[in-house]
Amino acid sequence: MEPVPITVMDGLGQEKLQEVTVDVLKNRFFVLGLQTGMAMQMFVVSTIMMMVCYGHDSKTSGAILLFSHEYYPLFRALFLICFFGVFHGVCLYIWKRCGINYRVLLGVPHSHNYHSVIRGFFTVITVVFSTFALYVLTLTVELTSDRHVWPASAAILSLVYLFSPWDWMPSWYDRFQRYSLLVTIGYVLVTPMYRTTFARTFVADILTSMPKVFLDVHFTSCVYAYGNVFQNTSLWAEIVPDACTSSNPTYNTIRFVLSVFPFWIRLLQCLRAFVETRKIRHNANALKYCTSIAVVVLSNLAPESAAWVTMSVLSTVCAFCWDVLMDWGHGPAALRAQLHGERFGSPSDAPFLRPFRLYPTWCYYAAFGTNAIARMGWAILISPNQAVVQQHFILLIGCIEMLRRAQWAIFRLEWEQIHLIGNSSAAESMLALRARHAAQSGVSKAEAAHGALAAAVQSSVIENKFMSATRYVLLEQ
């Protein structure tokens, strides 16, 4: 008699539960753990190799110096993209656990889930650090005669994996997930020709944390285009041409455009949103991005000057205040009422926080502090000609910024869901019922409104209506 496989109900990343065997779950989590372990192992190996090479002898020190001048920016850009991709998977897990319907809010496919995202980006990290290790070995022990093939392999293999027309994980239709992301990015790039939706502004906000990634890719592309890398057979020859240095006006112009472009996109989105809604807040948001553009401009005209420092501080303070007050919906009750409506201005059980929350209270206070600290290096990261810190510390600042952006996304989507629920017709009906009950029982209007919205946020019936309503809104947009 054959044993009957044990089955359980699991979504496997889908919206609806389905019956699957325990063996299938074990296999998928084993593969996820295996790919995670491989990525972490290659990261540790690469770090140890760099530490050993520093100051070991003249040959290895020269190898690291050569690497820093040539292809370090490319590996840094690939790592930062994958680093954020992994934490995007962490965000998906948190949203799912806390009941935030990210699929509706962001308009992503139903198969889009933390398992497939983390697994995919850890695979790319393994590829990147494997080629990095081979590149360092080529410089130190002359593993091959051509050191230029390894950085190119890292970029090409990463692009093939992320943008290939095949399903690497057929169970989750990851090809459709990547296609959906590319479509959204395409709409972002042609702003303001199309209507501004939450998903498009969400992606554009993420791009504002990645100007350094664009600059690193541009530098490496310039080296491969003008450096004659495959014609030069000498292992130790410098291949960075003058065309890829600050002495080239064209190179500087392209760097400036790439640095400004993400903020320019968000500026246009804000102006388009103002034309559509006539809400002054969009103009204020546009002004905030103007200060970010001013930081980039001053970095080109007068790096490390008093004007650049002043504008950097102003832009950082404006961005932090906007994150807390507008993107996360917190602040004093009176200010919340003015910014988001009377229903969100009711008193809270925690100082400075909004009364409707889906995460533990301590998480919000921790987010305020860490966001403020992480913002301190933000102006350095977006300034193309900064020289405040050594080039290698840009990687550390970039990682901190990716973490800050992931943290911002976690709270941004929570507030978007609560805000939409509070403005839904179902919440309006519940507010009217609570108001009539308050008139009969003597309860204040503020307490009645607070109870109505709290019930709307927690009610599964309202959540179902919210999902249908937001689907309609997203389709209309």
Please check the confidence at residue 170 and state whether its pLDDT lies above 70.
Answer: no
Q: Tokens for 4, please give them.
A: 């009957």
**Angle at 397 (CA atoms; ends 391, 402), nearest 5 degrees:** 135
User: What pLDDT, on a 0 to 100 scale, did the predictor assign at position 2?
Assistant: 43
Query: Long-range contacts for 410-413 (Cβ within 8 Å, ≥24 apart)?
Result: 410/91, 410/94, 410/95, 410/359, 411/327, 411/328, 411/359, 411/364, 411/367, 412/202, 412/205, 412/327, 412/328, 413/91, 413/95, 413/100, 413/102, 413/105, 413/106, 413/202
Q: Is 133 in contact with 52 (CB distance < 8 Å)?
A: no
Q: What are the extents of the domains in the chain? A: 23-423, 424-477
175-184, 229-238, 360-369: segment of lowest average pLDDT: 229-238
Question: Which pLDDT band holds residue 230 (cuts at 50, 70, 90)?
Answer: low
Choose the weakest-confidence range: 38-42, 185-189, 348-352.
38-42
pLDDT in tens, 420-459: 887 665 444 444 444 454 555 554 544 544 454 555 554 5
Backbone angles phi, psi at 246, to 5 degrees: -70, -10
If you average pLDDT over residues 159-183, what whole number do you get?
80
Does pLDDT of 133 surpass 60?
Answer: yes
pLDDT of residue 434: 46
Confidence band, pLDDT 50/70/90 cuts, at residue 175: confident
Asked if residue 61 has pLDDT above 60, the reply is no
pTM over 0.95: no
For position 172, what pLDDT does the model report? 62
Query: CA–CA distance from 80 to each of 48, 212, 277, 362 (Å)?
Result: 19, 10, 36, 28
Q: What is the pLDDT of residue 380?
A: 72
Range with the largest mean pLDDT of 9-23, 105-119, 380-394: 105-119
Express as a percent the part of the chain with pLDDT over 90: 31
pLDDT of residue 91: 95
Burial of 368 (0-12, 13-18, 19+ CB in 10 A): middle
Q: What is the mean pLDDT of the chain?
A: 78
| Distances 379 to 205, 315, 375 between C-alpha atoms, Å | 15, 8, 8
Round to whole Å and give the CA distance between 393 and 294.
23
Residue 5 pLDDT > 90: no
What local confidence, expressed as pLDDT, does residue 85 receive? 92
* Joined tokens for residue 372: 């403020």
Contact, 421 vs 456, CB < 8 A? yes
Per-residue pLDDT at 55: 54
